[in-house]
Amino acid sequence: MADGENGDGLVTANTEQNSEQLTGRKRSLANLKPWPKGFCPNPKGRGPKPITEAYAKLSRKKVPGDPKGRTYAELIAEGQYTAAGKGKTDAAREIADRLEGKAVQPVVGDDTASMSVTLNIEVVRRKLFGDDE
């Protein structure tokens, strides 16, 4: 059982003034506390992505019986190009997005409102000129 949890799955507030059982939103709010210094709840980062990893592995394999010896990735890409050539806009959009990046979405809002931008000149200098200073 977790700290403050009883057998019913309810959390009790760990304060001297309040020992009542909490449920729902009150329980969620009672659990909001920062991690102790030096503690990392997930030191290895995000967990594995088994489906993505399987796709990536399979995409590099040769298609069995393919006379051209293509990989699955090459076969899929060729299929997208064939579909785009036949007028399938979804296929054409996918190709364009992969090659050129997704189209910029316009920002909609009040044109009269002011906006301020803060730039760190050292970061800008490094990005523009590659200075290590």
Per residue in 58-92, pLDDT (tens digit) is: 999 999 999 999 999 999 999 999 999 999 999 99
**Nearest Cα to Cα of residue 26 among 47, 6, 12, 45:** 12
Structure tokens at 128: 């523009």
Judgement on whether residues 30 and 67 belong to the same structural domain of the protein? no
pTM: 0.46
| Torsion angles phi and psi, residue 7, rounded to 5 | -65, -20
Which structural domain, as residue segments, surrounds residue 32? 1-38
What would the pLDDT profile of 12-38 be if each residue is shown by its tens digit? 545 544 445 667 777 777 777 777 888
Amino acid 77 reads: A
Judgement on whether residues 60 and 85 belong to the same structural domain of the protein? yes
- Determine, yes or no, domain membership for 127: no
**Number of domains the chain contains:** 2
